[in-house]
Amino acid sequence: MKHTLGVLLVVTMALGACQSRWNPVNWFGDSEEIAVPEGEINPLIPEKSQLVTRPEAVYGGLPVYKVTDVKIEKTAGGAIIRVAGVAAVQGVHTVKLQPPSEGQNTKGVLVYNLLAIHPRPAPGVGTEQSREIHVAHSLTEQQLAGISTIKIVAANNARQVRR
């Protein structure tokens, strides 16, 4: 038994030190950099097919009661719009800044509607602090090109920020 264990230990040490294909550690070589063809799509993202895809869900948000604050924070690749508002009732969720469908973004003004999904049945109104909501939306430098004003529209008011 001692003899077999000794031989096995010597063989393991010898194979661990060698660079041959007998060593399991060397079965795969070192990594190397390869060129990626231009325009290739990510193979991990599946292509959309009619059998697997579902129709896009329609966002059922309604305008929020009012906008109380709008701040723009610069980032390395653009900016983040931070919006605070007050809903008409408690319990609103899935708050979103959505551009209007009519294309009101003209002459350097970027317009967003402040929308949220309201609960059904509507709970009590509560205090203004309990109805306060916050949302953020990121913009790239390309989206900000030529934009001098960002306007946020709610049900009862609108606020804008200028550069």
Inter-CA distances, 153 with 96, 113, 117, Å = 12, 5, 16
In tens, the pLDDT along 53-76 reads 677 788 888 999 999 999 999 999
Q: What is the pLDDT of residue 43?
A: 67
Whole-number Å distance between alpha carbons of 100 and 156: 16
pTM to 2 decimal places: 0.65
CB 121 within 8 A of CB 31: no
Higher pLDDT, 107 or 81: 81
pLDDT > 80? residue 82 = yes
Mean pLDDT for the stretch of residues 110-127: 87
Question: Token pair for residue 130?
Answer: 């309990």
